[in-house]
């Protein structure tokens, strides 16, 4: 059964979607939300997000199944390797996936990340070390980065 849960976090409402086996999405907006429904994966996600927002969890341990192209999945896998409290540039990620000219494509893949926070696209910044686009808004990105910086 596919479940959606509205999680109230310190950075605003987050919508968690999961089936019986995998976390499918963690997003800031869900236009199809009707009512809270939980399952085992959603309960695990809530517990780990609670720990993360309290500064007690630095790495998530959840079964993920993000839907995307092979390129997007390759980018998302690299995002998972950015350490807690650290950042990388779009160019860094492009280099890690073996295509130094793919910075813009990495940005597009970041934008399509269906599992925010858990797949830490908030840790990717511009080559000028400035915060750039984030699906939840730059204010949320800044709060997440500050949370991590203050809890290293």
**3 tagged catalytic:** no
Per-residue pLDDT tens digits for 28-53:
876 666 678 889 999 999 999 999 99
| pLDDT value, residue 64 | 97
Q: What's the pTM value of the predicted model, to 2 decimals?
A: 0.91
If you write DSSP's letter for every residue of 11-39 in order, what string do you get?
TEEEEEEE-SS-EEEEES--TT--S----
Name the band, by pLDDT with cuts 50, 70 and 90, for residue 110: very high
Question: CA-CA distance, 28 to 136, in Å (whole number)?
Answer: 6
Pick the catalytic residue from 79, 121, 144, 147. 121
Other Cβ atoms less than 10 A from the Cβ of 32: the count is: 7
In the numeric block, which tokens belong to residue 121? 């696209």
Per-residue pLDDT tens digits for 55-105:
999 999 999 999 999 999 999 999 999 999 999 999 999 999 999 899 999
If you write DSSP's letter for every residue of 89-100 in order, what string do you get?
EHHHHHHHTT-T
Pair 76, 68: CB distance under 8 Å: yes
| pLDDT value, residue 33 | 64
Domains and CATH numbers, the chain: 3-53 (no CATH), 70-150 (1.10.10.10)
């Amino acid at each position: 059964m596919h479940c959606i849960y509205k999680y109230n976090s310190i950075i605003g409402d987050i919508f968690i979607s999961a089936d019986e086996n995998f976390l499918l999405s963690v997003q800031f907006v869900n236009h199809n939300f009707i009512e809270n429904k939980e399952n085992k994966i959603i309960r695990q996600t809530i517990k780990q997000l609670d720990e993360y927002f309290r500064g007690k969890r630095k790495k998530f341990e959840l079964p993920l199944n993000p839907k995307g192209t092979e390129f997007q999945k390759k980018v998302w896998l690299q995002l998972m390797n950015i350490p807690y409290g650290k950042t990388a540039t779009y160019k860094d990620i492009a280099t890690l996936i073996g295509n130094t000219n793919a910075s813009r494509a990495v940005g597009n893949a970041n934008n399509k990340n269906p599992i925010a926070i858990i797949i830490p696209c908030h840790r990717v910044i511009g080559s000028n070390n400035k915060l750039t686009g984030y699906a939840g808004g730059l204010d949320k990105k800044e709060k997440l980065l500050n949370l991590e910086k203050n809890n290293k």
